[in-house]
Structure 1
């Protein structure tokens, strides 16, 4: 028996459906009808979800005159993703699901926990120092630069890498559901702490919505839990909004009078402002900013800034704010789909989401073959380009940067798997003799 055959035998033997299978594997291999549909069309449903839950309901209730503009732009992206997911090969769907998590041993779980905890602690220390706060952005305070700031820039994305690896470990039976949620509480708590120090709640909402969508995809939570959670967030949002405004006022930030809590949830109004600018966007961009081309995206995403210090800053939110008549001290976004439409036009949106769906299909394969690296890549896509509140194309750059920064973690897992494979092969030879 060859080394590769031993690894395949061990992986498939560990994960065959059986009555005493780990809880994570049972959840994954017994999906509800909706989860099965979600796995068949992951990009389409990920794009559709925020429109169904957040954007279109208030647009219709409050009779937003631009509602059909929002629907039209969304349909362009949905058409690209849906076509790609409909025409993809279906052979993998009928194959029994397998996982190779046990090839990595406990190292998979250890690396996942380390990535999540290290990234979360670093982000809290950075936010405490002022990194990313409203006061720093408007010049009312100065951020403390140093080791923590550099470390946060380097491993800030490890939290999503770690969550992907943790999902693979849970599905592979390497940890209990209770332990899984215990570790997931670490970045959530960190997000709350960061929101307190920075007075910005958007990153926390991005994290929570990502966790809801990805755990739903893996059958760990049910649709009703997501809906109850969304309703609970709506109930507590006014309190969070008031606390955030009080914290901003204490930092010397002027809070806009007359803006109520639920005004901030009118994403239909926010996204529809794309009609106020020329499409595709054509303005004079400040010299320290850049509207990145595809080559720029690769340059900014793959090459660390320490090796390319002279390059400008990518902040599409600031570029959009300038286009709307504002200045570079503030940022504005139309959401991922409408921002892509505003920057590049309708054809680009269709092709972009078509290619994104093709990429997701390549790594997801209908969920028939669960490996840590595939789940890690899926987590980076769902937290970045498919994030509900992400900004195109900044999150593509961020996804590439996170992928590059994860290479040390990937190397550790690769070496651990190779070592376990050699031991398994040696043990098999001894048994054969």
Structure 2
């Protein structure tokens, strides 16, 4: 029985997708729920699995093909058995060595690079499934070959002419690769944010000593009580942001044409860095979550993001965003808005600095905070007061619980 494998149903916000990687090829056996192809959209990478055991009889959309929602990708012969190795050997005898190597498979990007460098499939050892050649395999082969090449110059008498025309000793290597759809979409949204909003940033600094002491005192007990969930700083900042957003609803609002939409809830986006780019999964109703719930959910979403497991629902919506550049060592930065949101809070590296306290110089662990906001909706006074509210809540964490 022939079964059709179709692309997932894309939500309205996703127009189309691109076939990123085939993990199975025509004639290969697949098991039920085994990953066979990945579809990359503007927002997430979707995985398509086999609905039943069988053999892939035909692939209808090669890697790099732009597809629409529920478009046919491949067909599977349910219950069929893959060609045995002995049969494959008899077939391979009828083709050239190069054709056999090509049959192993190479993606469009890998084939393009191979053509540019005049390489054959038989020259490269594939690291993909079934010996499939990836783009990284080609790049590694080219770099390895370049590093082994030694320029041998015959002995000769040096003259002014030969010295002037001598070739440089090093090689200047350039590599051009197309942007992924996700990276291109991120670039487009960031550019739109800077061009279509009146973005401004206000800064403040917060004394992290009280929060660090609280964390040091309770982190072990917290982890045991909450099934291995670690007590970090992000949970406190998300809860502080929720409390501040209740006091300053403009920061939690969005602009829709000539209308201002005030959200009666706090869905907080948390920026997560992945190999494919920055993504912002959303904590739904974060104002009703405990600090333990926030920390556990952030960990779950972070693992999903780095494993390309995020769904469209995980990233849809959001009324405010928190980003932490401090984990990478950033001391101060200007976070960019995530439209249609009108505010984003930036956390940074904790660094000890001399501070004046009651006329005395004291060394304290300080963090710079940044709030970027859309000045079309939020006035400077409101933005500053919002950031001061976050600062006060972090410097006295009991206020978060008491909502003071």
TM-score greater than 0.5 by the shorter chain: no
Kindly indicate which of the two structures has a greater share of residues assigned to strand: 2
Q: Which has the higher contact order (CA 8 A, sep 6+)?
A: 1
Kindly indicate which of the two structures has a greater share of residues assigned to helix: 1
Larger Rg computed on CA atoms: 2
Q: TM-score, normalised by structure 1?
A: 0.19
